Amino acid sequence: MAVIFGQAFFLQILLFATTDALLCYNCTNLADSTECLALSQCDAGHSCYMDFRSADQRSTLGCIDNTKCGVSTGLGGSLIGRNVNERQIDQDCHECCSTDKCNKVLCSHKKPTDCVDDSKVDCAFMNSFMNVCADVQRAKVICPKFCSLCSLVDGAWSDWSGWSKCDASCGNGVQTRLRTCDNPAPANGGLDCVGPNTDQMTCSQGLCPVNGGWAQWSHWGNCSVICGVGLEKRRRNCSNPLPERNGHPCFGDAIDVRVCSPGPCGHGGWSSWGIWSTCSATCGDGLQKRSRSCTNPKPSLLAQYCEGDASQVQMCNNMSCNGGWSSWGHWSTCSATCDDGLRTRSRSCTNPRPPLHGGNYCEGDPTQVKTCSYVSCTPNIAFKAHSVRDTTPTPKQTMVLESVIFNQGNAYSTSTGIFTAPVSGTYFFTTQFCSIQKHVFNYDIKVDGTTYATGKTYAETSFPCNTADTVAVLHANSKVWVECTYVIPGSQIYQDGAHMNSFSGYLVHR
């Protein structure tokens, strides 16, 4: 792992005696730096160093100028320095030290997650002297345990994905591959991955088809006529460019046509008058007509039309006209659908025509009326039902009375307890229910779900019966029923020969 310090900060150890010439290991491109045995005497102002390249896992050791280690000479004495000017990509490492033979074990720091402080550094001293823990990215390498940075994780790139398909179907395009910063992902203040997450390369799909394009229109040709109205044409070619390699041909017309007119050929002239038409009336005032046409000769399109009227009209037949009755029409529908009504029929004074020019009007009445009658308007709809099916109902339960005394119109259902209005009209409904003493039973008369009347049975010492009734204006197919609305648990409806539970109703009028 590379340990890098910037110009603003130098990891430093003050030595009490200045070393003018160090003895350092000096080897090149070693797979294992501990195998280096060669030593070199450094010049004054130089330190020992190690470079480690992660690409080929090779190390180089030797002497280097202090200025390339981030070493400051202003403090007096020699310094150990680790250059942290920028984060090294792919974990390359460049580190320096300033004691004899110190460079064989450089670039061998543990990860923060190993939670082991660098044995070569007094972390407490460094923190008190230079506040090393304040610089997390530096302290995580040398003093992770002392500075409580063991959980810090720097991000690392995953492997590149495969290359995408070329984004062009022909010609040059681009292929793309991706990687993500999750091997591992940065955590607890660790550094994000450095570098792009996207890589691209050029791809070639061969030459593209060439679609055809129209050349310029030619000049207009000669008019097809020398007078009157004709046509003239112009043309264009699909050659700008020509279609190649399965390219589309040109779309549209290769020929354009427009109207042309060199000038008029001749003016129109009237034909002779035709004969007079038959008079439009056999008596009274009528009209007759004659006409002529502009065809002698017929004018060309741009020439002048004939002057004057194409038709003439004159009066004819001045005799007076008497009126006559038409046949009687059909009798109308009766004015009432029930009880007494009227039917009418009519005729008109138009046979063969209405009276004109002082002619006589028809004698007699144009309308006849007669009475018509049907059955009574109010049908016989009535019912009365008794004997409740369930004597221990629950709230919202429909009370079904399953025996009928009469059910004219068959509008009441003994299976559902619901009355369905056969026709629209005004109806009267009444209901009675009895309960055992001290038992409570409340009920409503419902019309299409709306409460129209409410009843309640309760008594301390007897078997009470109570009634509820209402008048309702119903539409055909409206629904009416009795619904339990409240009971005390255990309450029971009572019925015998003297206590009858019933529901009845009838149509008052339509």
**255 DSSP 8-state letter:** E
Q: Say which range, 43-57, 118-132, 394-408, has the weakest mean pLDDT.
A: 118-132
**With 50 as the cut, is the pLDDT of residue 137 above it?**
yes
The C-alpha angle 446, 409, 469, rounded to 5 degrees, equals: 30
pLDDT in tens, 259-277: 998 777 778 889 999 999 9
Q: Provide the pLDDT for residue 318.
A: 62
pLDDT in tens, 148-201: 888 888 889 999 999 999 998 888 999 999 999 999 999 888 888 989 999 999
Q: How far is CA 85 from CA 11, 71, 133, 186, 316, in A?
A: 12, 12, 18, 21, 122
What's at 91, amino acid-wise? Q
Q: Based on the number of CB atoms within 10 Å of its own CB, is 404 exposed (0-12), middle (13-18) or buried (19 or more)?
A: middle
Q: Provide the pLDDT for residue 70.
A: 63
Percent of the chain exceeding pLDDT 70 equals 89
Per-residue burial over 369-381, b if 16 or more Cβ lie within 10 Å, else e, is: eeeeeeeeeeeeb
358 CA to centre of own chain:
77
228 vs 392 pLDDT, higher one: 392
**Among 450, 456, 412, residue whose Cα is nearest residue 435:** 456
Tokens of 236: 């264009």
In angstroms, the CA 475 to CA 14 distance is: 108
Percent of the chain as helix, strand, coil, to the nearest 5:
5, 35, 60
Q: Provide the pLDDT for residue 153.
A: 87
pLDDT in tens, 54-100: 788 899 999 999 888 863 333 332 334 443 333 333 467 888 988 89
Q: How far is CA 233 from CA 213, 255, 260, 478, in A?
A: 20, 7, 10, 78
pLDDT in tens, 404-441: 999 999 999 999 999 999 999 999 999 999 988 888 88
Query: What sign results for the dihedral spanned by CA atoms 354, 356, 360, 365?
Result: positive
| pLDDT band per the 50, 70, 90 thresholds, residue 243 | very high
87-96, 122-131, 429-438, 459-468, range with greatest mean pLDDT:
429-438
pTM over 0.85: no
| pLDDT band per the 50, 70, 90 thresholds, residue 17 | very low
What is the number of other CB atoms lying within 10 angstroms of the CB of residue 383? 22
